[in-house]
Structure 1
Amino acid sequence: MTKLYFIANNQIHIYENNKTVTMPCQAIDQYKKNLDEIRQRKEWKMKGTGAQFMGLNRYDEDEGYGLAYATDAVVLDSENIIYSARLDDGMAINIKPIQNLQDTEGLVLRKNDFIAQDMAFDHFKKRLVLSVQEQQGYGTHLCILPLDSNRSQFITEGECIDANPIFDPHHVDQIYYDSCGLGGGENGVFLGPREIFHLDLSTGELETKFADPKYDFLKPQIDQQGSLYFIQRPYLRAGQTESSFGFFKDIIQAPFKIIRAIVGWLDFFTQRYSGESLKTSSKTAGQNPAIDKQKSEEELFVEGNLIKAQKNLEANSKKGEKYPGTIPNSWQLMKRSRDGQVTLVKKGVMSFAVKDDSILYSNGKYLIELKSDLSEEKLVEAKLISKIIV
């Protein structure tokens, strides 16, 4: 198989000739190096008896680098890929030479006011479509970024999360993406069901392709025959408790509800974009590390959804699956052919990519190739592959 890329554990990996290597990202490495230098310069203020006397000894040697990780990648040509990286509240998009991973990268965009989450590349017009989260706004929206310009143009708006955009390979001014509405309450942020949309850039016309209040539809892709692939999974909304003790209790509790809503909002985006919860920090006093480790292995946040990984793995194994995974069978890869017929392709799919006459997919435990004759080949064992790039 030719070279392919996938993202797992917030890192980009390269698979080729039955071998997997982790791709170094100079934007992330340089950012971490800069933070280290800043901390070293400030270290004298945070340590020693003088700092302790002044109450300034709050430097934590185990403190991480913040949020610095790869978010997506696309193939530019046979010698380069483009990747995006989150750098705390900012981001970078770089061109990475792949023949020699140590070669200097080229900068496409560096901004401090928004974060790119997903992207796709239009090979014909040499432009990117990005889903970005702005500092001053809520949710994520789509924008177009030409490679020869550092100016982006937004094409969607509203209180929603727009994600996973793709260009139609047969019509470059046609974009497909998934989106859901945002709602807030005293218990945090709530998402509506994800729907798949089609946007015509030439006319501005927006059309809903798949929507059902019982399901999420996400990660659209189109093959060379014009068939649309996507993941369908049950829509699960967390329950929202309403007060039943009257008007005066609502007034008394109003400040606490506002605080809880703000914390819930921050916790939601932390879980979605870093896979960790603000409410379950490993540094919390009194926690048992062994119990925390066991829970992290059994219960995992996958794109904002809490899944019972170990339970799903055992259930899939009992069903006799050749390569049992940790994703529930209710997460289904679907195909809508050009004549409108919708068929089930595979159950238990977390992410996928259409390549020629085969499909590459992750079931949360393995990266697998599903061939045209429906036979399967395990390529590599890798947990929770969020994106597959071909």
Structure 2
Amino acid sequence: MSFNFAYLSGGRLYLKLGQATVQSIASEFGQAAQQRGFQMQRRNNWKQKSLTANFMSGGMSGDVQQDRSIVPVAVQGVCPTSADRLIYTLEAGEIGGIFTLERFAAPHRVGAIENLSLNATSTLEYRQQTREKRLFHSANFKVDRIDFHPDYQLIACATIGKDGTANIAMMPVNGVHLEEVTEGDSIDLAPKWMPGFRKIIVFQSAGICRDGAGYIVEQQHSTIEQLDIDNREVIILASDPKYDLLSPQMDADGTLYYIRRPYRPLRQRVLFSQTLKDALLIPVKLLIAIFEWLNFFTRRYTGKSLLAVPQVQQVRHQQMLFLGRWVDVGREIERNHRFGDADSPALVPRSWELVKQKPHQEPQIIGRGVLAFDVGLDGQIVYSNGSAIYGIVPGGVAQRLLVDRPIEQVVILDRENHLN
């Protein structure tokens, strides 16, 4: 069975429809924001060059390089709203917004040369094009994961404030502003509508603690909560002090799916042995710093190093932020090479588990080393370990569908969708 899905990789949106090749979707709003930033940088470039020339006087010279990524653009969440439309959240610099993407067949004239007489032979063919529409944007907060209720035409998303809190918000698809439906000193993320005709959202929530200056010093373990919009009632569905329970989804039968990972407080105990080791190494680190400073100027003016040592290529482990936690991706790749597919090892620890929990039953582990997943109405499941996407049909086993890196989110599209 083929799978239709969309996924996010490196902040970009991609579509994979059956056996067709992967399609990359670019945001017109994001591209325009980057272009404006680039033009502003070019206008101010003469000032930077002037300052650089003054600073680099005395034999040192250089040019200021233009940074085309001065406005970072990233898609933060995506979900389908109909057979031919997606909705997604976008972060462009300081602006966060909600956009829709529609596919439509536009006529394109072929077989004729432009600017010829109207009698020239020509035919019309229909090509699939995309159209982006902005629903909402704001500089006061960022918009994260998003979901859509088809019966009520409601959007649910997470808004991340500048003070570190996050709330669940909702808005009609044709609305003009978001209404926050949770509040408090907490981080509420990953809203998902329950199937059916009731307005119920499941989401993850974690309380935060602040010091006297208002800075966040601790974050509690994430629980799974349920919000009844009409009754304004919130209940806890699942909680375990030993684990963070993340990205919840619930099917029509009440079965709960979520990612479970070991809880780790923000404030870690500093071992006395490590503190003593760091103190003893202070003189060595100072000597290294002085040597590197002298070596820099020697290489700058003579092209040679103070020490003729062979250059050894060092592999630096890349830190990436996944589900609110920094992960040493290089280390996890090395650890996970012996599990699953060797060419697509998990980017996160194997202790990050995809769990299925039926009402009044113990959790059942579906997959290990899981970063993102989605459950379809027909029981299909797609999940990602960050390096690949796997699909499971009801009663079947996991099959690999696609390899990419890093994969941050994956959502199932309607099998009858017309986005191809």
Shorter-chain TM band: 0.7 to 0.9
Alignment match, 2:182:
156
- Structure 1 unmatched ranges of 5 or more: 243-285
Other-structure match for 1:368:
390
Which of these residues, 106, 111, 119, is aligned with residue 146 of structure 2?
119
Using the TM superposition, give the Cα deviation of residue 361 of structure 1 relative to its aligned residue in structure 2, in angstroms: 0.5
1:134 to 156, 161, 165: 161
CA-to-aligned-CA distance 1:256-279 (integer Å, 9 cap, x gap): xxxxxxxxxxxxxxxxxxxxxxxx
Q: Is residue 62 of structure 1 aligned with residue 89 of structure 2?
A: no
Matches within 5 A, 1:290-305: 291=314, 294-296=316-318, 299-305=319-325
Hey, what's the Cα distance between the residues in 1 that align with 2:340 and 2:191? Answer: 35
Tell me the C-alpha RMSD between the 2 structures. 3.1
User: Paired residue for 2:5?
Assistant: 4
Matched, 1:73 2:101: no
Where 1:19 maps in the other structure, the secondary structure is: coil
Structure 1 equivalent of residue 403 of structure 2: 381
1:178 to 204, 214, 219: 204
Contact map agreement 1:27 1:94 (CA 8 A) in 2? no
Q: What's the offset of the Cα at 1:172?
A: 3.3
Q: 356-365 or 341-350: which moved more? A: 341-350
- Corresponding residue for residue 32 of structure 1: 34
Q: 1:27–1:92: 8 Å Cα contact kept in structure 2? A: no
Deviation at 1:222, TM superposition (A): 2.0
Structure-1 separation of matches of 2:372 and 2:337: 20
Distance 2:349 2:54 in 1: 54
1:106 aligns with 2:138: no
Q: Which one of 346, 357, 364 corresponds to residue 336 of structure 1?
A: 357
Asked whether the 8 Å contact 2:148–2:155 carries over to 1, the reply is yes
TM-superposed CA distance for 1:58, in Å, is 10
Give the match for residue 291 of structure 2. Answer: none
Aligned residue identity for 1:386: E
- Of 326, 340, 353, the residue aligned with 2:374 is 353
Does the CA-based 8 Å contact 2:250-2:257 persist in structure 1?
A: yes
CA contact (8 A) 1:127 1:146 kept: yes
- 1:190 is displaced (CA, Å) by 2.9
Provide the rounded CA distance (Å) in 1 between the counterparts of 2:26 and 2:229: 35
CA distance in 1, matches of 2:138, 2:375: 31
Q: Which 5+ residue runs of structure 2 have no aligned equivalent?
A: 57-61, 106-127, 271-295, 297-310, 413-420
Corresponding residue pairs, total: 342
- Rounded to whole Å, the distance in 2 between the matches of 1:304 and 1:388 is 17
> Secondary structure in 1 aligned to 2:44?
helix
Shift of 1:69: 1.2
Q: 1:275 matched to which residue of 2?
A: none
Matched residues in 2 for 1:316 and 1:46: separation? Answer: 46
Give the superposition deviation at 1:28: 0.8
CA contact (8 A) 1:18 1:379 kept: no
What is the TM-score when the length of structure 1 is the normalising length? 0.78
Deviation at 1:369, TM superposition (A): 0.8
CA contact 1:121–1:127 (8 Å) conserved in 2 = yes
Q: Select between 214-223 and 101-110 the one with higher mean Cα deviation.
A: 101-110
C-alpha displacement at 1:206, in angstroms?
A: 0.8
Pair 1:195-2:223 in alignment: yes
State the TM-score, normalizing by the size of structure 2.
Answer: 0.73
Alpha-carbon distance in structure 2 between the residues aligned to 1:389 and 1:160: 26
Structure showing greater relative contact order (alpha-carbon pairs closer than 8 Å, 6 or more residues apart): 2
Q: Taking every aligned residue pair, what percent have the same amino acid on both sides?
A: 20
- Residue by residue, what CA displacement relative to the aligned partner does 1:343-379 show, whole Å, maximum 9, x if unpaired? 2222221110112232101012110112323422111
Distance in 2 separating the partners of 1:332 and 1:167: 22
Query: After superposition, what is the alpha-carbon deviation per residue over 1:65-121, rounded to whole angstroms, capped at 9, x for unaligned?
Result: 233211111212111111111122221212112346754322211222121011111
Alignment CA distance shift 1:372-1:289 (3 Å): farther
Structure 2 counterpart of 1:31, one-letter code: A
The alpha-carbon deviation at position 11 of structure 1 amounts to 0.9
Deviation string, structure 1 residues 141-169 (Cα, Å, up to 9, x no partner): 11111122212211111111110001111
Between Structure 1 and Structure 2, whose CA radius of gyration is higher?
A: 2
Given that residues 117 and 133 in structure 1 are in contact (C-alpha distance below 8 angstroms), is that contact kept between their aligned partners in structure 2? Answer: yes
Structure 2 counterparts to residues 247-286 of structure 1, below 5 A: none
Which of 85, 91, 97 in structure 2 is aligned with 1:92? Answer: 97
Report what 2:238 is aligned to.
210
Residue 82 of structure 1 corresponds to 87
- Which letter maps to 1:44? W
- What amino acid sits opposite 1:385 in the alignment? I
**Cα 1:304/1:103, change in 2 over 3 Å:** closer
8 A contact 1:170–1:226 mirrored in 2 = no
Aligned to 1:167: 193
- Quick one: which amino acid aligns to residue 348 of structure 2? I
